[in-house]
Structure 1
Amino acid sequence: MTQIGHEWDTDLDILNLLSTIVLFDPNRPNIIHKDMIAFEHQINKYLLQRYLEIKYGTKSEARDKYMRLMKTLDELHVLNEENVRYHLEVDPREIGPLLIELFDLKP
């Protein structure tokens, strides 16, 4: 979150759009309607781009900010994958019930 910066941490529009971009990720497992999720994902990315253009007034500055946000989301995705991989290797008896449910582990 420090990479996203204080510039955006109080902008609920950006934070909400980032949340929907993450939630509507067509690469998530067990997605039934992948095409629809991919469509929603693209719409939310486009809305973020347009919002940044309006907020910053120039396409070049908006594009730079957008690319920085997307890079940060990619880095968070990698961090999340490493976190999941770590928890899958841990003995379920050593972690709490919430993590057992979250990672679909057998207790």
Structure 2
Amino acid sequence: MDNSNNVNPYINTIPKSLYDYNSQFNELEYKRFTELMIASNVMFVNKTPITSQVQSVEDFMYAIDVQRINDIKNCVKLLKGLAVFRQQCDHDQLILIKYGALEIHTLRSISYYDYQNEAFNIAIDENNTTVLQLTLLKQFGCDLYNNFKLFLNSLYRLYDMDDNILNLITVIILFNPNRPNLKHQETIKLEQKVYMHLLKRYLTMKYQNDCESSKRYLQLINTLLDLNFYDKRYKESSMSRPTLPALIHEIIVE
């Protein structure tokens, strides 16, 4: 997907003065980072035996809906584990969840994406996992399939099988000050900057190379544009489906 004409609002929003150290978190950073890691435990993907493989688009959509609902519910649990989210007014909490949940689902689908076999391994219940081959997306158009495959493969390499990176990107998406009708936009913007700063710091400590960490940071932040694109595509296509699970309907209907 070509985003060359898009301006990414997430880039260059953190003061450079915050990057004067690169060996360890300070006390406040460590407290915020640790809180996020604990809250993010709800997003852990349980590994269950593979017992089936999806053969039809209908079954593909059903399995994705199951996982999407699970991701949305876990996203809410994660947010409630963060003091800064609980401090937001009820109105803004609902807005952040409503407009961020599907992007989070798409982002975190990388955690159950089988890179080698180009498939999603979706846990249907505690005892069964079904395999969804990415090629089934070709029935929605080859462009969608090719672009989404490139996105997943790129994200897979960028997040480096590191859940800490995935968790930080998750809250950066959730605390998006550009969501519509927020009452306390500046407060949300500040919290997003804090987590963007933590991501930058974490990458610096992880790779111990300013050039590598900066490159990865920018590439990770640029994935937010792709997530927004796929969120819009999903909402548009979902409106033509005869039925939708109640929770997903509530999320996508303006």
State the partner residue of 1:4.
155
Q: Residues 9 and 15 of structure 1 are in contact (CA less than 8 Å); yes or no, is this contact kept in structure 2?
A: no
Q: Give the counterpart of 2:240 among 82, 90, 94.
A: 90
> For each residue in 1:64-90, what CA deviation from the matched residue of structure 2 results, as whole angstroms up to 9, or x when unmatched?
111111111211111112222333x43
Q: Matches of 1:100 and 1:8 in 2, distance apart?
A: 30
> For each residue in 1:32-62, what CA deviation from the matched residue of structure 2 results, as whole angstroms up to 9, or x when unmatched?
1100000111111111011101100011100
Q: Residues 158 and 220 of structure 2 are in contact (CA less than 8 Å); yes or no, is this contact kept in structure 1?
A: no
Q: Give the counterpart of 2:214 among 48, 63, 72.
A: 63
Which sections of structure 2, spanning at least 5 residues, go unmatched? 1-109, 111-151
Whose strand proportion is higher, 1 or 2? 2
1:20, CA displacement in angstroms?
0.5
Q: Matches of 1:7 and 1:42 in 2, distance apart?
A: 21
**1:7–1:64 Cα change, 3 Å:** closer
Q: Give the counterpart of 1:18 among 138, 144, 169.
A: 169
Residues 92-107 of structure 1 mapped to structure 2, 5 A cutoff: 93-104=242-253
Q: Give the counterpart of 2:232 among 73, 81, 88.
A: 81
> What secondary structure, in the 3-state scheme, does the structure 1 residue paired with 2:155 have?
coil
Q: Matches of 1:60 and 1:9 in 2, distance apart?
A: 17
Higher relative contact order (CA 8 A, sep 6+): 2
Q: Matches of 2:176 and 2:158 in 1, distance apart?
A: 25
Which amino acid is 1:86 matched to? S
Q: Matches of 2:236 and 2:166 in 1, distance apart?
A: 26
Q: Residues 175 and 191 of structure 2 are in contact (CA less than 8 Å); yes or no, is this contact kept in structure 1?
A: yes
Tell me the TM-score normalised to structure 2 length.
0.37
Q: Matches of 2:219 and 2:158 in 1, distance apart?
A: 12
Which amino acid is 1:50 matched to? R
Q: Residues 158 and 219 of structure 2 are in contact (CA less than 8 Å); yes or no, is this contact kept in structure 1?
A: no
**1:65–1:35 Cα change, 3 Å:** same
State the partner residue of 2:179.
28
Which amino acid is 1:35 matched to? E
Q: Matches of 1:100 and 1:27 in 2, distance apart?
A: 22
Tell me the TM-score normalised to structure 1 length.
0.81
State the partner residue of 2:192.
41
Which amino acid is 1:98 matched to? L
Q: Tell me how many residue pairs correspond in the alignment.
A: 103
Larger Rg: 2
